[in-house]
């Protein structure tokens, strides 16, 4: 429409008309599930930035279900021909929406703002469909963290473990001292979060990628995977009998209050320590899970854009994407969320030591091949495949019906589910 007007109108009148159109406010509707206190605060900051560019913000927050409710609403909107400007979608789900032909194109704003230079290739590829940017990353969560209570370790005479063999030595001492070695919530995604870190620590990041990202059958059903399941069973020995259905944050509270020594959980757990007034390095320790110091399993929140219906809608969409990748939003969102900026090269002076270590490792592993996606958090494989694999791990972790060898065989079979 703007191009036609420019062709038809000449001189000052054309300039006035075009200026008038550019000044029109675009409605930017964002469907998301950032509804907790810190998340909602960060979303409000994005609204300010987008509205400062002359757009109007229409918030579409859908609570509950870790995003499942939001996806149900999104599908209904897209089917009815009325998609939002952007929606919180991540990982392989972006590719699935791209295959449906529903997503817009952010190549122009990405090129203008040098996204290829600001994002690690592994992350940039997640944001693209068939080589074109269709989504923008909001943050990066590190999944392979271990959170530890130094006072519990001190009382037990134990050392914070750097390998899984050291973990067993420490856990035995902690258990004998009357503490719970590992705080855990018995939910499938939590089980697989621990499993990922075990596989990463036992087999290394190259094996992890072949097995849990490429789904290589020989790797999934290999002696290294059997050894990983053996260690996972060992970890289960150090979890309390009341862990079933416990939410992750309640497990974190066990570490905070000194009831348990360790938790294997992503960096969203840090928010619980912060709210409790605890300081990293003093009241709690953040360290890579045993054996995973040279690796980084990631979980990335992102906004995917849908095909715009007008030039004004496209302008609002581009403004939104530019704002999300901008320094102000990347800083404020991640300070509130406990994650780190997806954008590289930022000043992290306002961030705590855990975030600084995470950012350093994020950059380093992007260069060495140790930056790998998390299955447990929807980043590595399609949902049906992830669900089938998760079922195997949970069955093994919470019962004795499978031997480690049988579990590896079942995992390889589950990886074929589409």
DSSP SS3 for 31: strand
Average pLDDT value for the chain: 92
Beta-sheet pairing, 371-373 with 135-137 = unpaired
Is 26-139+299-354 in CATH node 3.40.190.10? yes
Cα–Cα distance measured from residue 107 to residue 414, given in angstroms and rounded to the nearest whole number: 36
Structure tokens at 371: 């930056």
Q: What does 7-25 look like in DSSP terms, one character per residue?
A: HH--HHHHHHHHHHHHHSP
Q: Are 104 and 134 in contact (CB under 8 A)?
A: yes
Topology alike, domains 26-139+299-354 and 142-298+364-414: yes
Is 142-298+364-414 in CATH node 3.40.190.10? yes
Span 59-74, average pLDDT: 84
pLDDT at 231 over 50: yes
Q: What does 87-124 look like in DSSP terms, one character per residue?
A: EE--THHHHHHHHTT-B---HHHHHHTTHHHHS-HHHH
pLDDT in tens, 178-208: 999 999 998 999 999 999 999 999 999 999 9
DSSP SS3 for 68: helix
Beta-sheet pairing, 260-264 with 145-148 = antiparallel
pLDDT in tens, 77-95: 999 999 999 999 999 999 9
pLDDT at 252 over 70: yes
pLDDT in tens, 7-48: 333 343 333 333 333 446 789 999 999 887 778 888 888 999
The answer to which of 6-15, 16-25, 53-62, 110-119 has the lowest mean pLDDT is 6-15
pLDDT band (50, 70, 90) for residue 381: very high
The reported pLDDT for the residue numbered 11 is 40
Long-range contacts of 67-75 (CB under 8 A, 24+ apart): 67/33, 69/33, 70/31, 70/32, 70/33, 73/31, 74/31
Q: Go through 96-135 and write b for each residue having 16 or more CB atoms within 10 A of its CB, e for each that does not.
A: ebbeeebbbbbeebbeebebeebbbebbbebbbbeeebbb
Q: What does 126-140 look like in DSSP terms, one character per residue?
A: HTEETTEE-EEE--B
The reported pLDDT for the residue numbered 24 is 62
The reported pLDDT for the residue numbered 303 is 97
The domain ranges of the chain are 26-139+299-354, 142-298+364-414
The reported pLDDT for the residue numbered 210 is 98
């Amino acid at each position: 429409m703007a191009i036609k007007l420019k062709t038809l109108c000449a001189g000052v009148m054309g300039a006035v008309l075009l200026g008038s159109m550019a000044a029109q406010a675009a409605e930017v509707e964002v469907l998301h599930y950032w509804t907790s206190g810190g998340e909602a605060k960060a979303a409000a900051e994005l609204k300010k930035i987008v509205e400062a560019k002359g757009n109007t913000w229409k918030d579409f927050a859908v609570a509950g279900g870790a995003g499942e409710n939001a996806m149900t609403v999104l599908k209904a909107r897209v089917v009815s021909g009325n998609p939002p400007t952007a929606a919180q979608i991540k990982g392989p789900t972006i590719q699935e929406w791209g295959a449906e032909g529903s997503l817009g194109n952010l190549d122009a704003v990405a090129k203008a703002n040098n996204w290829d230079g600001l994002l690690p290739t592994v992350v940039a590829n997640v944001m693209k469909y068939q080589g074109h940017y269709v989504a923008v990353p909001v943050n990066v969560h590190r999944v392979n963290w271990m959170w530890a209570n130094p006072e519990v370790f001190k009382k037990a005479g134990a050392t914070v473990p750097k390998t899984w063999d050291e973990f067993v030595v420490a856990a035995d001492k902690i258990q004998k001292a009357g503490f719970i070695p590992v705080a855990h919530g018995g939910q499938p995604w939590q089980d697989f979060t621990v499993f990922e870190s075990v596989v990463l620590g036992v087999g290394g990041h190259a094996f992890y990628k072949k097995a849990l990202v490429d789904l290589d059958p020989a790797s999934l059903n290999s002696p290294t995977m059997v050894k990983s399941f053996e260690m996972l069973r060992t970890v289960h020995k150090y979890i309390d009998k009341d862990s079933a259905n416990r939410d992750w944050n309640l497990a974190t509270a066990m570490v905070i209050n000194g009831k348990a020594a360790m938790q294997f959980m992503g960096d969203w757990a840090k928010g619980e320590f912060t709210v409790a007034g605890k300081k990293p390095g003093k009241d709690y320790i953040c360290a890579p899970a045993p054996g995973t110091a040279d690796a980084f399993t990631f979980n990335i929140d992102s906004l995917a854009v849908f095909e715009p219906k007008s030039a004004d809608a496209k302008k609002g969409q581009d403004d939104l994407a530019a704002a999300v990748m901008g320094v102000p939003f990347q800083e404020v969102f991640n300070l509130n969320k406990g994650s780190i900026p997806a954008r590289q090269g930022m000043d992290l002076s306002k961030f705590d030591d855990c975030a600084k270590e995470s950012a350093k490792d994020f950059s380093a592993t992007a260069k060495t091949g140790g930056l790998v996606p998390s299955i447990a958090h929807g980043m590595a494989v399609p949902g049906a495949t992830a669900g089938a694999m998760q079922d195997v791990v949970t069955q093994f972790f919470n019962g004795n019906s499978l031997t480690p060898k049988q579990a590896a065989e079942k995992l390889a079979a589950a990886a074929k589910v589409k």
